[in-house]
């Protein structure tokens, strides 16, 4: 019993000598403000210059926050951050790194403010098919594909590849398929 009372007295004395709470104006070292790490997936940063309008981000968006609509000669990409789950799949799939996720965490806002600040919209021009006249692919995407293919070729093959691309990239997929059948490069004609 004496050891219990002695232990209690020792504990009371030790706790009575140190402060119970921290001083209000001074922030102790252990109470520093929280800073998010680099790997946090926060608010989207949409780079209009890098976006080619391919629509790959829409195909992987599981929450349906990204929508791509084609209207005539224009493709419109819309990102609704109020329904986004910040999974980062759109960032991973983007071939040109047009979408990035910043460490900035979106804060809670009234519903009207969410509609104003959480909508991102971007439009790109579509090229039209020479064969049938339907809109095909974004012009910027066609140029990006052309430059990538040419940069990976030997100097000998560049002229023939450029000529072939000038022919084939002007057509939609259906017209290209029929052209390849006519020219004998369709898989059914090769075998």
- Is 16 among the domain residues? no
- Is 48 among the domain residues? yes
- Is 13 among the domain residues? no
Highest mean pLDDT among 20-24, 101-105, 154-158, 170-174: 170-174
E runs forming strands in the chain = 44-46, 66-71, 74-80, 99-101, 119-128, 135-138
Scan for tokens 């600040």, then name that residue. 117
pLDDT tens by residue, 56-86: 999 999 999 888 888 878 888 888 877 888 8
Judge whether 126 and 136 are in contact, CB under 8 Å.
yes
- Reading the block at residue 67, the tokens are 């929508």
Whether this prediction's pTM lies above 0.85 is answered by no
- Is 31 among the domain residues? no
**Cα atoms in the Cβ-side hemisphere of radius 13 Å centred on 11:** 6
Question: How far apart (Å, rounded) are the C-alpha atoms in residues 160 and 141?
Answer: 21
Domain count, the chain: 1
- Is 160 among the domain residues? yes
pLDDT tens by residue, 106-137: 665 555 555 555 667 778 888 888 888 888 88
Structural domain boundaries enclosing 61: 44-190
At 109, which CATH number? 3.30.70.20
């Amino acid at each position: 019993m004496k050891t219990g009372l002695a232990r209690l007295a020792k504990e009371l004395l030790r706790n009575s000598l140190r402060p119970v709470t921290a001083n209000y104006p001074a922030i102790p070292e252990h109470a520093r403000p929280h800073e998010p790490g680099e790997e946090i997936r926060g608010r989207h940063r949409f780079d209009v210059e890098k976006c080619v309008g391919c629509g790959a981000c829409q195909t992987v968006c599981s929450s349906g926050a990204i929508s791509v609509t084609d209207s005539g000669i224009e493709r419109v990409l819309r990102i609704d951050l109020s329904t986004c789950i910040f999974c980062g799949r759109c960032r991973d799939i983007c071939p040109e790194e047009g979408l990035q996720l910043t460490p900035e965490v979106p804060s809670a806002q009234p519903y009207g403010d969410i509609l104003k600040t959480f909508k991102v919209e971007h439009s790109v021009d579509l090229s039209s098919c020479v064969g049938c006249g339907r809109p095909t692919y974004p012009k910027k995407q066609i140029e990006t594909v052309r430059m990538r293919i040419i940069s990976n070729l030997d100097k000998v093959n560049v002229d023939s590849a450029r000529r072939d691309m000038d022919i084939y990239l002007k057509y939609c997929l259906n017209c290209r398929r029929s052209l390849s059948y006519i020219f004998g490069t369709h898989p059914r004609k090769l075998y």
